[in-house]
C-alpha cells in the first residue's frame, strides 16, 4: 500500500517541475503489489491538449529490456545458446579483428582472441558500442559516422538500411575491444534485434507482437504509431540555448511511418500501463495471468549483474555509481544515498523516460517525460521520482 501523504508529496514535486518548465507534461506511475497510482500532469505539447494516462511516449533505450527478453525466449526454446558464437546467424561478425588501440587507424588491428557469443551481445561485451569521447577524437568514430551506422539512437524512416545492409556496414569495422573484455553501451541491443529476426525468420516487430506485446496486452507499444492514434503521441523536446525546442513532432516525425531498420536498442513507443505489464511480468518470474512467457532462470539471468568491478567502473558515466548490467537493463549492486535497494533493476530512455522494479519491495516506478536527457545518466527528476516512490510506501 501507499501512504496518501507520500503520494501527494510525489504529485506536488512532479507538478512543480512541470510548472517550472522542465517539460510541458509528464506521466508517472508507481505500483506496489496490486496497488497502482498514476499521475498525468501538464500538456502533451506546449499549448496542446492535456496529458493523459494513455499518452504514448518514445521510450528509447527502455526498448533494450524487451529485446533481451526476445533473445532469452529463443534461448529457452533451444534456437539460440548463450555460449554459442554469433557467426551462424550473424556471419558478418565472424573472424573479427580488433583495434590495437582506440586511437589506431582502422587497419592497425590484431585478430580477436575468440568469437563473439550471444551472451556477449546481451551483456554489452561484444567489442562494439558507444565511445565515451568527444566526436572525431578517434579514426573509428569518423568511420562509423561515414558509414551512417549509429550505435545508439531512434529509428530513422529516411535511413535506407535494412538488417542485412546494416550488418554489412557494421561488419566492415574492426572491434573496439576484445570480446568479453569491456562494457560498451548500445550496439549489442541492435545486434540482438537482428539476431532475433534471423533466428525466428520474422521481423523483430512481429516477434515482439506475437510473443511479448500480445500476451501482455501491450496494445500501444510498437516501432510506429498508427495514424488513428497519432494524436496520443506526445511532442518530444530538447534543450537548446536555455529553452525547449521540438525534436520530434507526432504527425511527421520518426514514428509516423515504419522504419526499414527496427532498432532493438531504442525504437519503441509505449505507455505507462503497457510498460507496467512488462515490468510486472519480470517481477513475477516471467509469468503473466498464469502464462509463462519466460522461465524464472531466464529472468534471474536478465536481472543479475554480469560485469566485473573494472567493467562497471568503465561504464559508470552511463550506468551511474553502484550499478552493473544484466541483460537489457541495469542492476543496482550497492546501497547508497538516494539509490534504490540492491537487486533493483530497470533502465532509462534518452527521450526522457525511466523505470525501476524492486523485487524485494514489489515496487515499480515508471516516469515518462517529453524532455530529452541532458546527461548520459538522465536528469534529476527521475531519481527524485524514484526516491519519492520509496517514501510513499507504508
Mean pLDDT of 63-78: 98
Phi, psi of 245 (to 5 degrees): -125, 150
Strand partners, 236: 248
Radius of gyration of the chain (CA): 20
- Tell me the CA distances in angstroms from 211 to 193, 200, 204, 218, 294, one per residue in order: 14, 11, 10, 11, 10
- Tell me the CA distances in angstroms from 16 to 12, 25, 33, 35, 317, one per residue in order: 6, 11, 28, 25, 28
Structural domains of the chain sorted by starting position, each given as residue range(s) with its CATH number in brackets? 4-66+204-391 (3.40.710.10), 69-200 (3.40.710.10)
pLDDT over threshold 80, residue 169 = yes
The position carrying cell 561478425 is 93
Predicted local confidence at residue 154, as pLDDT:
76
DSSP 3-state assignment of 35? Answer: strand
Predicted local confidence at residue 375, as pLDDT:
81
pLDDT over threshold 90, residue 179 = yes
Question: Cell numbers at residue 231, please?
Answer: 494524436
DSSP 3-state assignment of 193? Answer: helix
Mean pLDDT of the chain: 95
pLDDT over threshold 80, residue 336 = no
Beta-strand relationship, 97-99 and 109-111: antiparallel
**Interatomic CA distance for residues 341 and 125, integer angstroms:** 25
Mean pLDDT of 378-387: 92
**Interatomic CA distance for residues 122 and 68, integer angstroms:** 7
- Tell me the CA distances in angstroms from 380 to 241, 303, 315, one per residue in order: 20, 24, 19
Q: What is the DSSP string of 81-148?
A: -TTSBGGGT-GGGSS-EEESSTTS-TT-EEE-SS--BHHHHHHT-SS-S---S-TTSSHHHHHHHHHT
> Is 117 exposed, middle or buried, given 0-12, 13-18 or 19+ CB atoms closer than 10 A?
buried
Mean pLDDT of 198-207: 98
Q: How are the residues of the chain apportioned to helix, strand and coil, as percentages rounded to the nearest 5?
A: 35, 20, 45
Q: Where are the beta strands (DSSP E) in the chain?
A: 25-32, 35-42, 57-58, 97-99, 109-111, 236-240, 243-248, 269-270, 287-288, 291-292, 323-325, 330-332, 345-349, 353-358, 363-369
**Interatomic CA distance for residues 112 and 177, integer angstroms:** 9
Binned at pLDDT 50, 70 and 90, residue 151 comes out as low
pLDDT over threshold 80, residue 72 = yes
Q: DSSP class of residue 375?
A: S
Q: For the ranges 28-42, 167-181, 374-388, which has the lowest average pLDDT?
A: 374-388
Predicted local confidence at residue 338, as pLDDT:
66
pLDDT over threshold 70, residue 276 = yes
Predicted local confidence at residue 270, as pLDDT:
98
Predicted local confidence at residue 204, as pLDDT:
98
CB 93 within 8 Å of CB 116: yes
Predicted local confidence at residue 149, as pLDDT:
80
> Is 113 exposed, middle or buried, given 0-12, 13-18 or 19+ CB atoms closer than 10 A?
exposed
Predicted local confidence at residue 109, as pLDDT:
98
**Interatomic CA distance for residues 216 and 277, integer angstroms:** 6
- Tell me the CA distances in angstroms from 391 to 58, 83, 359, 383, one per residue in order: 28, 42, 16, 12
Mean pLDDT of 311-320: 95
pLDDT over threshold 90, residue 115 = yes
Amino acid at each position: 500500500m501507499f501512504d496518501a501523504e507520500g503520494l501527494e508529496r510525489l504529485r506536488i514535486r512532479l507538478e512543480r517541475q512541470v510548472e517550472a518548465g522542465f517539460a510541458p507534461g509528464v506521466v508517472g506511475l508507481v505500483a506496489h503489489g496490486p496497488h497502482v497510482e498514476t499521475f498525468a500532469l501538464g500538456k502533451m505539447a506546449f499549448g496542446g491538449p492535456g496529458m493523459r494516462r494513455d499518452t504514448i511516449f518514445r521510450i528509447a533505450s527502455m526498448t533494450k529490456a524487451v529485446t533481451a527478453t526476445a533473445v532469452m525466449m529463443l534461448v529457452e526454446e533451444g534456437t539460440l545458446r548463450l555460449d554459442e558464437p554469433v557467426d551462424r546467424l550473424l556471419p558478418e561478425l565472424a573472424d573479427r579483428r580488433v583495434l590495437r588501440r582506440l586511437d589506431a587507424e582502422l587497419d592497425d588491428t590484431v585478430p580477436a582472441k575468440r568469437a563473439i557469443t550471444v551472451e556477449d551481445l546481451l551483456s554489452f561485451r561484444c567489442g562494439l558500442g558507444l565511445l565515451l569521447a568527444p566526436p572525431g577524437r578517434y579514426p573509428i568514430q569518423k568511420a562509423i559516422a561515414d558509414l551512417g551506422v549509429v550505435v545508439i539512437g531512434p529509428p530513422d524512416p529516411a535511413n535506407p538500411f535494412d538488417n542485412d545492409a546494416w550488418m554489412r556496414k557494421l561488419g566492415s569495422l574492426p572491434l573496439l575491444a576484445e570480446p568479453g573484455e569491456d562494457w560498451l553501451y548500445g550496439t549489442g541491443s541492435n545486434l540482438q534485434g537482428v539476431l532475433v529476426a534471423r533466428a525466428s525468420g520474422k521481423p523483430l516487430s512481429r516477434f515482439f507482437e506475437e510473443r511479448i506485446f500480445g500476451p501482455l496486452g501491450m496494445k500501444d507499444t510498437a516501432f510506429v504509431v498508427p495514424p488513428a492514434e497519432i494524436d496520443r503521441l506526445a511532442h518530444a523536446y530538447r534543450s537548446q540555448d536555455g529553452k525547449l525546442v521540438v525534436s520530434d513532432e507526432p504527425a511527421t516525425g520518426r514514428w509516423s511511418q515504419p522504419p526499414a531498420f527496427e532498432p532493438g536498442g531504442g525504437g519503441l513507443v509505449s505507455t505507462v500501463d503497457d510498460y507496467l505489464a512488462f515490468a510486472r511480468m519480470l517481477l513475477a518470474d516471467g509469468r503473466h495471468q498464469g502464462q509463462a512467457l519466460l522461465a524464472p532462470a531466464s529472468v534471474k539471468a536478465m536481472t543479475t549483474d554480469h560485469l566485473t568491478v573494472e567493467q562497471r567502473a568503465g561504464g559508470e558515466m552511463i550506468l551511474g555509481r553502484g550499478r552493473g548490467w544484466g541483460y537489457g537493463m541495469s542492476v543496482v549492486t550497492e546501497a547508497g544515498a538516494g539509490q534504490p535497494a540492491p537487486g533493483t533493476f530497470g533502465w532509462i530512455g534518452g527521450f526522457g523516460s525511466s523505470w525501476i522494479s524492486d523485487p524485494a519491495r514489489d515496487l515499480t516506478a515508471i516516469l515518462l517525460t517529453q524532455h530529452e536527457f541532458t546527461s548520459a545518466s538522465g536528469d534529476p527528476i527521475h531519481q527524485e521520482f524514484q526516491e519519492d516512490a520509496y517514501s510513499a510506501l507504508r
